[in-house]
Amino acid sequence: MTDHIQFSEIKQALVLLDQRILPNREEYFLCKTTQDVIYALQTMVVRGAPAIGVTAAYGCWLALRQAMDQAGPGWRVRLAELLRDLEDARPTAVNLRWAVELMRADAAAAGEIGAEELSARWLAKAKAVHAEDIEINKAMGRFGAEAIDDGDTVMTHCNAGALATAGYGTALGVIRAAIEQGKRIKVIANETRPFLQGARLTAYELHKDGIDVTVACDNAVGHLMKRGMVQKVVVGADRIAANGDAANKIGTYTVALAAKAHGVPFYVAAPASTFDLRIQSGDEIPIEDRTPREVTHIGDHQITPEGVPVYNYAFDVTPAGLISGIATEKGLLRAPYVQAIKEKIGSV
């Protein structure tokens, strides 16, 4: 599954599969401006840290074209404004900032070139980021599959599959790689309230690929582990600190605690671009607080009493001490993570 993020040469636009309405309908959302990309990111037309990074790379190109149209000779000033807006679209997934900084660095390396030349350069760069993400996921999957045994039932939380990346997936990439190695794997996809990424998206793409998947309520995690129905947990991440603390979809920390209590190995799969080595621990990771409506409503149907407040934190942080290993395209990292991250990922 690689057609959910496309660049249309004819339309000169970014075309995104609208994940808000999966699995019931497959419709596409067209991005022709920076504002379109920001809307797509904030409303979760597209989501998942690597997919956000790829989308942001194309978003930088769209910002440049918009700056050229709006500001003429003053395009550089307008571009800087649009890139700041894009960078601030969502706070937790570090891949968004990573992609914008990557394009800024590319522009700096190019020197004082014209707008049209930079446009061609940035479009090529965005396409390269897009293609590279798929290869990164496949390498990550091969490393992560080392931890998966034949016959395992693997639990995952949220959607860290093809839909959350340019294709193949991070956590689901580990599962796909294990299956490609001939291992017989079953998957439990936690529903992942309130946006139901597991029930809607993980189940959708695994079922579509013929991979054995069962959806479980989030609050069944402990029960399933106690009954011996889960051998491994593999999740993605939206940001990983220098000490190995990992932010992922809300509820992941709870899954990790249950896994620790029942002796179930808990793995994270994420590319090097998801590591934020400027922060020392997960305490420094900003946690997005989303609209209450995602909790108070299912579709157009309200399920909570009018006037009752809700918490809708979109992410939580799993401490490194609960993580058995972190699969990256550079290898499977094991504790102590500070040293492993420095050796494999680098340092600030």
In angstroms, the first-to-last Cα distance of the chain is: 34
249 annotated to a ligand binding site = yes
**Torsion 253-94-298-302 (CA) sign:** positive
In order of 72, 112, 172, the CA distances from 69 in angstroms are 6, 19, 41
**Torsion 206-208-213-218 (CA) sign:** positive
138 annotated to a ligand binding site = no
Q: Check if the beta carbon of residue 235 is closer than 8 Å to that of residue 250.
A: no
Give the number of residues written for the chain: 348
Q: Check if the beta carbon of residue 128 is closer than 8 Å to that of residue 7.
A: no
330 annotated to a ligand binding site = no
Q: Check if the beta carbon of residue 238 is closer than 8 Å to that of residue 31.
A: no
The encoded tokens of residue 35 equal 């504002």
49 annotated to a ligand binding site = yes
99 annotated to a ligand binding site = no
228 annotated to a ligand binding site = no
Q: In this structure, which amino acid lies at residue 49?
A: A
In order of 143, 278, 316, 321, 344, the CA distances from 327 in angstroms are 6, 20, 19, 16, 11
Q: Which of 85, 81, 79, 80 is nearest to 64 (CA)?
A: 79
280-298 burial, b at 16+ Cβ within 10 Å, e below that, comes to: eebeebebbebeeebbbee
Crossing angle between the packed helical segments 94-110 and 75-87, to the nearest 10 degrees: 160
90 annotated to a ligand binding site = yes
Q: Which of 44, 42, 16 is nearest to 31 (CA)?
A: 16
Q: Which of 36, 238, 245, 276 is catalytic?
A: 238
Active site residue 150: no
SS3 65: helix
Query: Per the annotation, where are the binding residues for substrate?
Result: 47-49, 90, 197, 248-249
Catalytic residues: 238
Query: Per the annotation, where are the binding residues?
Result: 47-49, 90, 197, 248-249
